[in-house]
Amino acid sequence: MAFDSLSEKLQNVFKNLRSKGRLTEDDVKAALREVKMALLEADVNFRVVKQFTKSVQERAIGQDVMNGLNPGQMVIKIVNEEMTKLMGSETTEIDFKPSNELTIIMMVGLQGAGKTTTTAKIAGKLKSKGKKVLLAACDVYRPAAIEQLKINGEKQGVEVFAMGNKNKPADIAKAAVNHAISNGNNVLIIDTAGRLHIDEEMMDELVEIKNSVDVHRTLLVVDSMTGQDAVNVAGTFDEKVGVDGVILTKLDGDTRGGAALSIRAVTGKPILFVGMGEKLSDLEQFYPDRMTSRILG
Ligand code: GDP
């Protein structure tokens, strides 16, 4: 289960708080120091942790809370609310163009983050909502990426537009748009190439695709197990290409949770979905409040 080690630590802090009938300021401060440690160990961004504990402390050390009937429970409630706020509070849906106009979504991310898999996962989700989806295979460098997209597209019952690996990604994207329009598709999802590390060439190529077709939303796929690296990657992609939303993959294997808890606060970009496994059905809409409940128990 995701975030196991963070959950365990925070639940221990809460158990302590609950066991106390009355709370002093020092009790609250001591508990928040432990919360802070647990979050830092979970690889949550340092500034985010600082701001988070400051907000909780300001709200918790007040007359209403300290003199209330159940101060421990109140502090826990405040932690819960602030953590939900950290992850964005509201659920963000993919935004489509009005009426039945073609919505073009570009998927970006580093190689291995789970971009191609996630592209097919999203295609399935949108199809089940009644969208007529076309996938475009623009990852022309990674061996087998095109084949992988074709296989997964077929599993999802979604057509995949591919032109092999001899054409420029921007040209494939343009041809895919024409195909989508003549085919009556209302969503086109473009799978792009990632590299192992961020480099100029990759960014230039993504910008070129963006300049060639009318990309409505750019979604970044990052591996949640990489913690703060994922947050830094998101910052760079946003700066160079522009990102509208984030998908955090491999949450099923992430015992820490640092990326999930930092990425919204650091980049300002909402998390739309989380990947919970390798199967094409393992993609969940991201609900900040439910994620908080998962973490805090
Ligand atoms: P790409 O290079 O970004 O296109 O990455 P792929 O889509 O090929 O995914 C890389 C690996 O991560 C594959 O083995 C996927 O099955 C795996 N993967 C993708 N998303 C998830 C996820 O949410 N959970 C788990 N456990 N594995 C995932």
Question: H/E/C letters for each residue in 160-191?
Answer: EECECECCCHHHHHHHHHHHHHHHCCCEEEEE
User: How far is it, in rounded angstroms, from Cα 155 to Cα 280?
Assistant: 9
- The mean pLDDT value of the chain amounts to 95
152 lines ligand 1 (CB under 6 A): no
Q: How confident is the model at residue 10 (pLDDT cuts 50, 70, 90)?
A: very high
Tell me the mean pLDDT in the region 210-238: 97
Residues placed in the known binding site: 109-116, 191-195, 249-252
User: How far is it, in rounded angstroms, from Cα 240 to Cα 238?
Assistant: 6
* Distance (Å) from CA 274 to ligand 1 centroid: 12
Task: For residue 110, give the ligand 1 atom closest to its CA.
Answer: 3
Chain CA centroid to CA 155, Å: 24
284 lines ligand 1 (CB under 6 A): no
* Distance (Å) from CA 220 to ligand 1 centroid: 14
Dihedral of CA atoms 196, 201, 203, 205 in degrees, nearest 10, equals -120
The pTM for the full model equals 0.95
191 lines ligand 1 (CB under 6 A): no
Query: Is 80 exceeded by the pLDDT of residue 143?
Result: no
